[in-house]
């Protein structure tokens, strides 16, 4: 499942990446360019704009909510897929690139000391070299996933 997210929803694009989904954030106002890219790369278009429903042959969800958690809920519900915990934390939040594993020894001095002490698994983005671990974003995602579990009863 791959996405292209329009410019009103940069936060949603990042959250989808945190969840492990390939999500292009399209921050231009160029609608033909947006449509062509969605079609060419077979991406599901996530947008706030009703106007885009006139384009046929494109899979799209018109997002109705303002808060990113609600936007995610709507995306998951309308498309009917399950977020899998094993995919979380596999993609760079900033560049959308798949992350590579990196050993603790190689990142000494590159992350705060307490992080080194408290975390075991680290990943690195091959494009921006940013180092990731299950920190703040992870807690947010866990909160959201648990909320969904509770919702199911
Ligand atoms: Zn990156």
Helix (H) or strand (E) holding 5: strand 2-6
**Residues having C-beta closer than 5 Å to ion ligand 1:** 92, 94-95, 125, 127-128, 130
Tokens encoding 100: 């590579």
Distance 49 CA to ligand 1 centre (A): 28
Residues of the chain with CATH 3.40.50: 2-85
pLDDT mean over 108-118: 93
Helix (H) or strand (E) holding 112: none
Q: What is the pTM of this model?
A: 0.91
Q: At what angle do helices 136-152 and 10-18 cross, to 10 degrees?
A: 90
User: Would you say the C-alpha torsion 126, 132, 133, 138 has a positive or negative sign?
Assistant: negative
Distance 96 CA to ligand 1 centre (A): 7
User: What's the pLDDT tens digit per position in 20-57?
Assistant: 999 999 999 999 999 999 999 999 999 999 999 999 88
Distance 94 CA to ligand 1 centre (A): 5
Distance 149 CA to ligand 1 centre (A): 30
Q: Is the pLDDT of residue 136 over 80?
A: no
* 3-17, 20-34, 66-80, 136-150: least confident range: 136-150
Q: Domain 2-85's class?
A: alpha beta
Using pLDDT thresholds of 50, 70 and 90, give the confidence band for residue 142. Answer: confident
Q: Is the pLDDT of residue 141 over 60?
A: yes
User: What's the pLDDT tens digit per position in 62-105?
Assistant: 999 999 999 999 999 999 988 888 899 899 999 999 999 999 99
Using pLDDT thresholds of 50, 70 and 90, give the confidence band for residue 137. Answer: confident
């Amino acid at each position: 499942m791959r996405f292209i997210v329009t410019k009103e929803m940069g936060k949603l694009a990042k959250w989808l990446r945190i969840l492990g989904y390939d999500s292009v954030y399209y921050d231009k106002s160029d609608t033909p360019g947006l449509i062509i890219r969605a079609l060419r790369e077979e991406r599901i278009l996530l947008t706030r704009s009703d106007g885009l429903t006139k384009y046929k042959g494109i899979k799209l969800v018109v997002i109705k909510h303002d808060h990113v958690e609600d936007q995610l809920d709507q995306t998951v519900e309308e498309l009917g897929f399950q977020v899998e915990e094993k995919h979380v934390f596999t993609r760079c939040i900033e560049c959308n690139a798949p992350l590579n594993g990196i050993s603790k020894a190689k990142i000494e001095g590159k992350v705060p000391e307490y992080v080194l002490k408290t975390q075991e698994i680290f990943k690195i983005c091959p494009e921006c070299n940013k180092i990731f671990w299950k920190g703040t974003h992870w807690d947010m995602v866990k909160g959201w996933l648990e909320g969904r579990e509770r919702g199911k009863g």
